[in-house]
Structures are given as C-alpha cells and as structure tokens.
C-alpha cells in the first residue's frame, strides 16, 4: 500500500483486487475498491480525511458477497458514521439526516480491508459516532429490529475508545455473544469528557439474553468485576429523547 498526503492522489492495492486511484476533492477522499465477489460487485469505501468528515458521495452501497476463497461472516455488516452539533436539540428526523452509510462487508477479508482505512474512534472529534450494524438494520431506535430492544452502555475515560471498539466489534463479528439473532449492532460515541460504547439487542425484556450479553461484554473487554454497566431500552430513549440519560445500573 502506498499513500501520500502531499500529492492529490492515493494509490492502493487490495489483497485480492486491482490497483485503483482516487482523487481528493474538497478535502474528501473516495476510493472504489473492487471486491472479488461472485458477481464482481464494486463497493464504495469512504476514507474520512483529516477534517474527519465522511464523504457524502459514497453513501449508496450495493449488496456485497464474500469473494472466492474468502471467509464469510455469519451476517453482512454495515458501517455508519454520524456527527451532530450538541447545542441543537435532537430529533429522529435530524438524526436520520446526519447519519451516513459508508460501507458493507460480507467476509473477514473485506472487513479488514475496509476497517484499515477508517479513522480510529480516538481520533474523531466530539459528538461523533461510528456504528456497525447488521445489514438492513439502521442504527435508530425506531428501526423495526430495534424498537423492542435496548442497549448495554459502558462509559470510558478518554483514550480507551479505539482499543475497546475494536475488541467489541471483533467479538460481534466472531459471534462470541452466542445469542443468535439478538445482537443488532454496536456503537462507539465520542464525547467531550468521556467516550461511550454500546451494543444493541432486539429484545429488552429477555433477562437471560441481556445478562448473557452483559457477561460476554465483561469477558471480551476484560472489565474489572466492579465495572458499572448500564442498560436502557429504546422505548425509554424514545420517551425521553436521550441515549444515555436515565439508564438502569448493573454491577
């Protein structure tokens, strides 16, 4: 891989695809990576530039398939990015306008090719979020797959988000939670005084399943036994229009 910040082009070679060139325009970078799928589908990949804005020309992503010889994931997953002005009151409409779909992966190899070009969460500015959700599920409380569910919340001191985010999404893609289709996705939220990890599930009133998800989170993140974890249903979030206030504490 060869990249340079001084020139106006970036040349990259994928593991299984051809070399492709992208032109940097208005501070944004777009690159078309040819994924060797069964049907030769081209997947847009957005590279958040130094300004950490996400390329809006690359928001439409076609369905992808594992390439020949690649290791398929149990589910396809889609990356999303959102950023909002904290002083503005949030609404479902404004949130949906701010969230951007940036790419879908179907195999282990596609994930690593895509993930290696994303800005790490710790380098994002305040009130930015990365989301990784199963294909077809929007990272919104109102989505049909999320409406009856909720999320586990872990608050982190600054500087830990990148490592913890990688651990949690690898556990999710590797099906370490062992709760079938219950997992919807994961979110890392960068805030000014703290960072927040959350993992969303479909059924908030299934105590056995939510407890298993909590215990798996403790294990894969190697959390101390006294770590405070919080849970909030999406119905409660819809009622108080808040993601992280009025949560239920779990020790």
Range name among 27-36, 183-192, 206-215 with the lowest pLDDT average? 27-36
pTM: 0.74
Superfamily of domain 50-250: RNA Cap, Translation Initiation Factor Eif4e (3.30.760.10)
Q: Binning pLDDT at 50, 70 and 90, where does residue 87 land?
A: low
Q: Binning pLDDT at 50, 70 and 90, where does residue 164 land?
A: very high
Above 50 in pLDDT, residue 124?
yes
Tell me the pLDDT tens digit for each residue of 237-248.
Answer: 999 888 888 788
- Rounded CA-CA distance 125/127 in Å is 7
Helix or strand or coil: residue 190?
A: strand
Give percent above pLDDT 70 in the chain. Answer: 71
Above 60 in pLDDT, residue 196?
yes
- Rounded CA-CA distance 232/228 in Å is 14
- Rounded CA-CA distance 213/151 in Å is 10
Over residues 82-86, mean pLDDT:
77
Helix or strand or coil: residue 94?
A: helix
């Amino acid at each position: 891989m060869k990249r340079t910040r001084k020139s106006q082009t970036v040349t990259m070679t994928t593991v299984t695809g051809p070399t492709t060139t992208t032109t940097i325009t208005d501070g944004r970078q777009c690159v078309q990576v040819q994924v060797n799928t069964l049907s030769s589908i081209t997947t847009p990949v957005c590279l958040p530039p130094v300004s950490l804005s996400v390329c809006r020309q690359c928001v439409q992503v076609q369905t992808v398939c594992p390439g020949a010889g690649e290791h398929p994931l149990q589910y396809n997953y889609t990356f999303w990015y959102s950023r909002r002005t904290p002083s503005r009151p949030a609404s479902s409409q404004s949130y949906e306008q701010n969230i951007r779909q940036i790419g879908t992966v179907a195999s282990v190899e596609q994930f690593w090719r895509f993930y290696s070009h994303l800005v790490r969460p710790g380098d994002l500015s305040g009130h930015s979020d990365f989301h990784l959700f199963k294909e077809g599920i929007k990272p919104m409380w109102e989505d049909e797959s999320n409406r009856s569910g909720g999320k586990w919340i872990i608050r982190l001191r600054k500087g830990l988000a990148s490592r913890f985010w990688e651990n949690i999404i690898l556990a999710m893609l590797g099906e370490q939670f062992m709760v079938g289709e219950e997992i919807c996705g994961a979110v890392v939220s960068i805030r000014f005084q703290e960072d927040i990890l959350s993992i969303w599930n479909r059924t908030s009133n299934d105590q056995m399943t939510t407890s298993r998800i909590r215990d798996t989170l403790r294990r894969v993140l190697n959390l101390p036994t006294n770590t405070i974890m919080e849970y909030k249903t999406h119905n409660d979030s819809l009622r108080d229009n808040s993601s992280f206030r009025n949560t239920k504490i779990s020790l």
